[in-house]
Amino acid sequence: MKVVQINATCGVGSTGKICVGISELMSAHGIENFILYSSRTSGYPLGIRCSNDRYVRMQALKSKILGNYGFNSKRATQKIIRELERIEPDLVHLHNIHGHDCDLESLFSYFQRKKTKLVWTFHDCWAFTAYCPHFSMMKCDKWKSQCAKCIQHREFSWFFDRSEELFEKKKRLFSGLDLTIVTPSKWLADLVKESFLKEYPVKVINNGIDLEVFRPTPSDFRERYGLVGKKLILGVAFGWGERKGLDVFLRLARRLPEAYRIILVGTDEKVDRELPESIISIHRTQNQRELAEIYSAAELFVNPTREENYPTVNMESLACGTPVLTFRTGGSPEVVDSSCGAVVDCDDVESLEREIIRICEVEPYAKEHCLNKAASFAQMNRFRQYLDLFEAITIGRGS
C-alpha cells in the first residue's frame, strides 16, 4: 500500500501534526507514504512542499478580490498533481485543503478521471458549504439545500458574493468520487449526513493527544502568580474572540466571588486591552509541558466555545486531571461525560456560573475519573484507526 496525504501544513499546527503522526505510524508498518503541503517550512523527510508562503498569500489576496475561495492556486495544484502522477498512490488522504493552496476544479477533476481512492478528514464544515468553515453562530442552514446570499461572505470576499456559484461547483466536483469521509466528532458526522455529501460513507475517528505530555504535572505556578488559596478557572484558546467565548470570561470575571481567579492562555496584546486586572493573561506558553503545568494547577477548565468540532483543549485538560465545563456546541460535549465534566446550553452564563461554583465547592470531580476518561484519548490509537481504514479501503473490504 502506498499513501499520500495532502494538507496545508506538515508537522505544524493541529492538522499538520496529525498528518505527521499518521505518516510515522505508516512508516513503522512499512507503508510507503508522503505528505504534500504548501505552507510554512517543515523538516519532515517525507514532506513534499508544493508551494510557498508568498504564493499562498497572493492567492489569498486574489480570493478576497474575486470571491472564488477554493478556486485559485492553479500552479500549486498542478505541482500536487505531478507529484501524484509520479508517486502513483493507492490512496490519497485529504485534510485541510482550503488554505488558499488548492484549486478544487483541477484537483477533483483529476480525482474523478483517475478514480482515485480518497479518504477526506473534515476538520470543519467547509467542504459542504460555499464559503464557511463554521456557521453555528450565524444559525444558518442554507447549506442543507443551496448556499446563496451568504451572510458571512464579507469575511471571504471584499466585493462579490459568489456563494451560489461556489456551492454548485462543489456539488459537481465532489460527486462521482471513490470517497470515504472521516469526521473527528459525531456532531460533524451528523451534519455531513444532512448535506449534499450524504451518499458517501462517514466514519468518526476522534482526534487524540499525546498522553506522555499531557498528564498531571506539578509546578510552582500558583506561587509564581500569587494564586495560593484561590480557585483557578482556566481558559485556553488560540484566536480569542467571540467565537471562543472571550466575552463570556469577561462576564464571569464580574460575577464570580473574590476567591476565584480566571486565567486565559493564548492571548495577545489586543486581547489584553479588553481584560480587567482580575484576569491573568498568558500570551504563549514556552512548551507543551508548561501548558500541562497550567492545566494541572487549575480547579476547572471552562470552554465557552460557540463553534467547535472536537476541541483538543478539552482532552488536554482531562489528561492533566482537571475537569471540563463547556457549552453545548459542536462536538465539545462529546469529549466529557458525567464522571469528569458538565455541559450547559450555549450562552447561558448564569448556568455556567452556577456549575463553576458547584464543581469547585460542592461536587468536585475526582482527578482519577478525569484520567480514566483521558485514557481513551491516546493519539496513537486514533492513528491506528486510520491505518485500519486505509487497509480496508485498499483491499476492498469497505469501511
Cell 439545500 locates to 145
What are the chain's domains?
2-208+379-394 (3.40.50.2000), 221-377 (3.40.50.2000)
Tens place of pLDDT for every residue, the chain, 399 residues? Answer: 999 999 999 998 889 999 999 999 999 999 999 999 998 888 999 999 999 889 999 999 999 999 999 999 999 999 999 999 999 999 999 999 998 889 999 999 999 999 999 999 999 999 999 999 999 999 999 999 999 999 999 999 999 999 999 999 999 999 999 999 999 999 999 999 999 999 999 999 999 999 999 999 999 999 999 999 999 999 999 889 999 999 999 999 999 999 999 999 999 999 999 999 999 999 988 789 999 999 999 999 999 999 999 999 999 999 999 999 999 999 999 999 999 999 999 999 999 999 999 999 999 999 999 999 999 999 999 999 999 999 999 987 444
CA pseudo-torsion sign 290, 296, 298, 300: positive
Q: pLDDT per residue over 373-385, tens digit each? A: 999 999 999 999 9
Q: Where on the phi/psi map is residue 149: left (φ > 0), alpha (ψ -120 to 50), or beta?
A: left
Contact yes or no for 76/55 (Cβ under 8 A): yes
Residue 327 cell numbers, joined: 457549552
Taking CA 238 as the corner, what is the angle to CA 280 and CA 38, rounded to the nearest 5 degrees? 155
| Sheet containing strand 324-327, strands side by side | 279-282, 260-265, 231-236, 300-303, 324-327, 341-344
What is the distance between the alpha carbons of residues 203 and 201, in angstroms, rounded to a whole number?
A: 7
Q: pLDDT per residue over 143-189, tens digit each? A: 999 999 999 999 999 999 999 999 999 999 999 999 999 999 999 99
Contact yes or no for 354/325 (Cβ under 8 A): no
